[in-house]
Amino acid sequence: MQSRAFFLAAAIGFSTFVAALAFQYLGGLHPCQLCISQRWALGVGIAGAVLAGLTNGTTRILFGVLAVIGFLAEIGLAFYHSGVERHWWQGPQSCSGGGSLPTAFDPATISESASGRAPAACNEIPWDLFGLSMANYNVVIAAVMAMLCVTALRSKPAV
């Protein structure tokens, strides 16, 4: 049960990441600074879930906790991004004006230097389905992944 739950969380995360890349490269929807930050958190969650699924004992617990932390960070960033899109609060100044993110990790700079173009604005919703943006869906999807990992951590290992 534990390994399956971790692998399911990783598979959902990987599918989410592939979907984001498809929207970017096939759909022409370039990511904003907050989108890129969410991808980093998602990557940590996926890596932790895969490694937790492959290991046992204390190592599994450590990687499982790492997965949960990554997915919780994804939830927090996606929720923050949702608020910026809905104009509930200001976003980072380099993304949509107003607030700021720590300068030590500036995804906008990374994105701009890698692609040769500035990232999209964080306070605009470039795509939605049933009135919900990608950031809104990411909150829910990341919550499912985090719950799968927590459930796996709480279950007794198969003997």
- DSSP secondary structure, 52-107, as one string: HHH--HHHHHHHHHHHHHHHHHHHHHHHHHHHHHTTSS-EETTTTSEE---TTS-H
What per-residue confidence (pLDDT) applies to 119? 61
Q: Name the band, by pLDDT with cuts 50, 70 and 90, for residue 15.
A: very high
What per-residue confidence (pLDDT) applies to 102? 46
What per-residue confidence (pLDDT) applies to 142? 95
97-140 residue pLDDT tens: 444 444 445 555 554 545 556 667 777 777 777 877 888 899 99
100, 93 in Cβ contact below 8 A? Answer: yes
52-104 residue pLDDT tens: 999 988 999 999 999 999 999 999 999 998 888 888 888 777 775 444 444 44
* CATH code of the domain covering residue 111: 1.20.1550.10
Residue 9 or residue 92, greater confidence? 9
What per-residue confidence (pLDDT) applies to 144? 95
Residue 25 lies in a domain: yes
What per-residue confidence (pLDDT) applies to 89? 82
H-run or E-run covering 126: none
> Which residues lie across from 91 on neighbouring strands?
98
What per-residue confidence (pLDDT) applies to 2? 80
The CA distance from 50 to 121, in Å, is 32
Residue 35 lies in a domain: yes
What per-residue confidence (pLDDT) applies to 130? 87
Give the three-state DSSP class for 142: helix
Query: Which range (26-30, 76-80, 155-159) has the least confidence?
Result: 155-159
Residue 58 lies in a domain: yes
Residue 117 or residue 7, greater confidence? 7
Phi, psi (degrees; rounded to nearest 5) at 130: 60, 35
The CA distance from 94 to 133, in Å, is 21
Q: Count how many domains the chain has.
A: 1
pTM above 0.75, yes or no: yes
55, 153 in Cβ contact below 8 A? Answer: no
The CA distance from 115 to 158, in Å, is 47
Instruction: Give the pairing of strands 91-92 and 98-99.
Output: parallel
Q: What domain range is 55 assigned to?
A: 2-154
Residue 159 lies in a domain: no
The CA distance from 88 to 52, in Å, is 37
pLDDT of 38 strictly over 70: yes
